[in-house]
A and B are shown apart, each in its own frame.
Chain A
Amino acid sequence: MSIFALYSMKGGVGKTAAAVNLAYEAVRSGATALLCDLDPQGAAAFYFRIRAKKKFGRKRFLKGGKHLENNIRGTDFEGLDLLPSAMSFRNLDLGLDDRTKNKSYLKRLLTPMRKEYDYIFLDCPPNLTLLAEHVFRAADYVIVPCIPTTLSMLTHQKLMDFFKKNGLKRKKLVSFFSMVEQRKTMHREMIAQVGERKGKFLSAQIPYTTDVERMGWARQPVACFKPRSKGTLAYRELWTELQMLG
């Protein structure tokens, strides 16, 4: 049983796409998975055509137990369930602040689910707030998509520093290159330098393809409507590597 958090300080780097496709790949390989959407945008639920129950929101989520479990909904794929987010999740920080001092409340919320699923994927909102710290403590691995640009690498360095400063295990941090465009010199160079950088980078890369973008239109994981596309194969390769981690 492992918890993977898809996290990045920057928005638009392919977190949700990765969370959705990796969870799908996990189930495809015979495991069971829960995808928790912590981002108030609710994009993960949108990809699976799931609407949260009307009364579900931040309060029920934070109450945990039955209040949370009753709001988990099955996707079209057996073995893959989703906990949708709600607009009120934008204030998750407030609720978390009241509850614990040691920033492990989210971890406690997820404990009962650990028995039920082989993998839990957390789709996180793009910021470094209190919620993010809870996520870092709850997750066994924090998976960071990185676009191979200077700025992205800089934020990545900052995240590593943050981990060090706050006594978090830097081993948890695992990155991969996302939205890679091989025709761009900068992308190629950034990827070539990966060996010189600190921190673990996976060898699988997710290319920038329209197939992944079209997920919003198909409302399915990319493997379902483009089973042989580059995107599908890239996520599959990425999943194979992640599976080895835990």
Chain B
Amino acid sequence: MTVTKMRSSHIGVRPMITRSETYVLSEPHGRDVVEQLALERLLPVSEIVKTVRYFDTFDWRLYQKGLALIQAGNAVYLQRISDGEYPLQDQIEMKQHIEGRFWWMFPEGELRDTLRSALSVRALLLRAQVRQKVCGFGVLNADEKTVVRLFLTHTSAENRHVATLALRSVRGYERDFENLRRRFRKLDVAHVAEDVFERVMNLAGCVPGDYSSKLNLNLNHEASGREATCEILKCLHDVMRQNETGIRADWDTEFLHDFRVAIRRTRSALTQIKGVLSEDAVAHFKDAFRQLGRSTNRLRDLDVYLLEEEAYRAMLPQSLQPGLDAVFSRLKSERRRALSDMVQVLDKPEYLNLMDSWATFLRGEQSRGGKDSAVPAIALAQKFIFKRFKQILKKGQAIGDHTPDEALHDLRIDCKKLRYLLEFFASLFPKDKMGKLIGYMKKLQDNLGDFNDLSVQQQELMAYLNEVLPRSRRADRLLCAAAIGGLIARLHDRQQAVRREFASAFATFSGKKNVRLYRDLFR
């Protein structure tokens, strides 16, 4: 049974304690169940037939938060999955299909605010579509007053059906609800179900949570280095393939991002986990993935600039802002070209061959491998992680206020490598400690990441100033130059500030607590 503080679909907020319980019926004729209970005082109240569409991002961001976005007819609303049929907040009217929308394409209000924090830059995709017939009944007492509400729902998709029955209490009549609940629990044909949402999604051939950009591995503690490495790489291979469609369709920028991260992780694994796979093959695939990675760079850079458009504009006074119009319209048209280049890469036989041969290699590699392939994965992980950690400590301590920027860039790459190693082998070590490690690391990585992003952005703008503008015949090219100049100055300021924070970020990382954790776990 769930007791939920619910909010109404109406004006304002209506917190109200309502109890509910949902059953899955084992036979298709739910009405029989109702009759079996011999509820003589049962009043049919409503009957609604509707097509229900469920939306979520590719990586199930709403589902991960326990939410579902639903469009039924013209009504669009969010639902807390554990609550059954109650909208989380005010529903909104939207005639248009919401597939492909981002949070900012919704009218202002609570729904949009929730979507904003949940979706971030990801687009909504249609995940499932079902037909639903909902019959509402009131269970009456001797005064013919409704004391419990009962909903019989038939959901169907692609010739599959599921029948569910939900009981909901009426305020002030909780005892009647409890009595009815007890009777239902004794029935053979009805079973309490907590996973109604998942069942409904499965009907439509969809498995909620089936994709995540995170590496959700569960490595065997006895696994050999070779087995573990192959499993990690196979997982990354799957992530690449899963994102191809989204890149082609250009639903949002994160398909390419996840695709790139998977490539980077693959390359990192090939470089860092030494002596496990056969050396010739490693050299070949490392090179192939480096080239593939390189072909994604330009599109990603452009995506990042365009995502930052609002932030860039906000950095400038109103008078200079129009100067950026030219920059962004150029970036947009360049992005169109970069996208079609990217799609071409995916369509080329080279790419398909690479993926096929890679998958075949990983399958076959189980039985071959390098000199350390039989060493337990856990021992290898400890060796590689601790070595990298020591290296970062040494490099980081050498950085002072006057160290050249290159040293920071270098350190960033090393941190990333360490982070990847930790993620690859996380399931072999205690979860809580790994969580702490990642936490200590995050502050440092964020600092180094920001530093790098800010310097790349300045370079890009400088290039525009040096190469594009002098050849431009735009009437507003002076304004343009001023805007870019202003932006570079702001970015430079921020970069300096980030650099000043480096010492404190590194102090957390190199602190006693963290060092002790690494020693305990990896030495």
Question: Considering the complex, which residues of chain B in the window 363-378 have a beta carbon less than 8 Å from any beta carbon of chain A?
Answer: none
How far is the CB of B249 from the nearest CB of chain A, in Å?
38
How far is the CB of A128 from the nearest CB of chain B, in Å?
32
Are A30 and B14 neighbours in the complex by a CB distance under 8 Å?
no
B272 within 8 A of A: no
Identify the stretch in A99-107, A114-122, A133-141, A202-210 within 8 Å (CB) of chain B at 4 or more residues: A114-122
Identify the stretch in B65-73, B166-174, B474-482 within 8 Å (CB) of chain A at 4 or more residues: B166-174
Question: Considering the complex, which residues of chain B in the window 1-54 have a beta carbon less than 8 Å from any beta carbon of chain A?
Answer: 8-16
How far is the CB of B88 from the nearest CB of chain A, in Å?
16
B310 within 8 A of A: no
Identify the stretch in B142-150, B204-212, B295-303, B496-504 within 8 Å (CB) of chain A at 4 or more residues: B142-150
Are A32 and B12 neighbours in the complex by a CB distance under 8 Å?
yes
Contacts of A76 in B (CB 8 A): 138, 145-146
Are B11 and A30 neighbours in the complex by a CB distance under 8 Å?
yes
How far is the CB of A26 from the nearest CB of chain B, in Å?
10
Are A115 and B15 neighbours in the complex by a CB distance under 8 Å?
yes
Are B143 and A51 neighbours in the complex by a CB distance under 8 Å?
yes
Are A117 and B14 neighbours in the complex by a CB distance under 8 Å?
yes
| Partner of A31 from B11, B146, B170 at Cβ < 8 Å | B11
How far is the CB of B198 from the nearest CB of chain A, in Å?
27
Are B145 and A50 neighbours in the complex by a CB distance under 8 Å?
yes
Chain A residue nearest in CB terms to B16: A116
Contacts of A31 in B (CB 8 A): 10-12
Are A74 and B11 neighbours in the complex by a CB distance under 8 Å?
no
A95 within 8 A of B: no
Q: How far is the CA of A79 from the CA of B8 in the complex (A)?
A: 8
Q: How far is the CA of A49 from the CA of B144 in the complex (A)?
A: 7
Q: How far is the CA of A50 from the CA of B170 in the complex (A)?
A: 12
Contacts of A235 in B (CB 8 A): none
Contacts of A81 in B (CB 8 A): 171-172
Question: Considering the complex, which residues of chain A in the window 19-58 have a beta carbon less than 8 Å from any beta carbon of chain B?
Answer: 30-32, 48-51, 53
Fill in one digit per residue for A83-127: 1 if any B CB lies within 8 Å of its CB, else 0: 000000000000000000000000000000001111000000000
How far is the CB of A110 from the nearest CB of chain B, in Å?
16
Question: Considering the complex, which residues of chain B in the window 154-180 have a beta carbon less than 8 Å from any beta carbon of chain A?
Answer: 170-173
| Partner of B173 from A73, A78, A116, A117 at Cβ < 8 Å | A73
Are B16 and A49 neighbours in the complex by a CB distance under 8 Å?
no
Are A48 and B15 neighbours in the complex by a CB distance under 8 Å?
no
Are A49 and B11 neighbours in the complex by a CB distance under 8 Å?
no
With A49-B143, A49-B144, A79-B8 already in contact, the answer to whether A115 and B13 are too (CB < 8 A) is yes
Contacts of B14 in A (CB 8 A): 32, 79, 116-118
Chain B residue nearest in CB terms to A84: B172
Contacts of B16 in A (CB 8 A): 116
Chain A residue nearest in CB terms to B170: A74
Are A1 and B12 neighbours in the complex by a CB distance under 8 Å?
yes
Are A73 and B11 neighbours in the complex by a CB distance under 8 Å?
no
Fill in one digit per residue for B399-429: 1 if any A CB lies within 8 Å of its CB, else 0: 0000000000000000000000000000000
Q: How far is the CA of A150 from the CA of B162 in the complex (A)?
A: 66
A71 within 8 A of B: yes
Contacts of A53 in B (CB 8 A): 172
How far is the CB of B6 from the nearest CB of chain A, in Å?
11
How far is the CB of B330 from the nearest CB of chain A, in Å?
48
How far is the CB of A135 from the nearest CB of chain B, in Å?
23
Are B173 and A118 neighbours in the complex by a CB distance under 8 Å?
no
Chain B residue nearest in CB terms to A30: B10
Q: How far is the CA of A1 from the CA of B149 in the complex (A)?
A: 27
Q: How far is the CA of A73 from the CA of B143 in the complex (A)?
A: 14
A180 within 8 A of B: no
How far is the CB of A28 from the nearest CB of chain B, in Å?
11
A168 within 8 A of B: no
With A31-B10, A32-B8, A50-B145 already in contact, the answer to whether A74 and B138 are too (CB < 8 A) is no
How far is the CB of B434 from the nearest CB of chain A, in Å?
43
Fill in one digit per residue for A57-75: 1 if any B CB lies within 8 Å of its CB, else 0: 0000000000000111111
Are B171 and A72 neighbours in the complex by a CB distance under 8 Å?
yes
How far is the CB of A131 from the nearest CB of chain B, in Å?
24
Fill in one digit per residue for A201-236: 1 if any B CB lies within 8 Å of its CB, else 0: 000000000000000000100000000000000000
| Partner of A118 from B12, B15, B170 at Cβ < 8 Å | B12
How far is the CB of A123 from the nearest CB of chain B, in Å?
18
Are B172 and A71 neighbours in the complex by a CB distance under 8 Å?
yes
Most B CB within 10 A of own CB, among A49, A72, A74: A74
Q: How far is the CA of A31 from the CA of B14 in the complex (A)?
A: 10
| Partner of A73 from B9, B15, B172 at Cβ < 8 Å | B172
Q: How far is the CA of A82 from the CA of B243 in the complex (A)?
A: 54
Contacts of B171 in A (CB 8 A): 72-74, 81
Fill in one digit per residue for B130-146: 1 if any A CB lies within 8 Å of its CB, else 0: 00000000100001111
Are A74 and B10 neighbours in the complex by a CB distance under 8 Å?
no
How far is the CB of B146 from the nearest CB of chain A, in Å?
4
Contacts of A70 in B (CB 8 A): 172
Q: How far is the CA of A115 from the CA of B16 in the complex (A)?
A: 11
Question: Considering the complex, which residues of chain B in the window 83-139 have a beta carbon less than 8 Å from any beta carbon of chain A?
Answer: 138
Contacts of B11 in A (CB 8 A): 30-32, 118
Are B145 and A116 neighbours in the complex by a CB distance under 8 Å?
no
Most A CB within 10 A of own CB, among B145, B172, B173: B172
Most A CB within 10 A of own CB, among B10, B13, B15, B143: B10
Q: How far is the CA of A196 from the CA of B146 in the complex (A)?
A: 47
Which 5 A-B pairs have CB atoms at the shortest separation, nearest pair first? A73-B172, A49-B145, A74-B170, A74-B171, A76-B146
26 pairs, CB–CB < 8 Å, chain A vs chain B: A30-B9, A30-B10, A31-B12, A32-B10, A32-B11, A32-B14, A48-B145, A50-B145, A51-B143, A70-B172, A71-B172, A72-B172, A73-B170, A74-B146, A74-B172, A76-B138, A79-B8, A79-B10, A81-B171, A116-B14, A116-B15, A116-B16, A118-B10, A118-B11, A118-B12, A219-B144
Additional A-B contact list (7), CB under 8 Å, known A32-B14, A50-B145, A76-B146: A1-B12, A30-B9, A30-B10, A49-B145, A73-B171, A115-B13, A116-B14
- Measured CB to CB, the residues of A under 8 A from B are 1, 30-32, 48-51, 53, 70-76, 78-79, 81, 115-118, 219
- Measured CB to CB, the residues of B under 8 A from A are 8-16, 138, 143-146, 149, 170-173
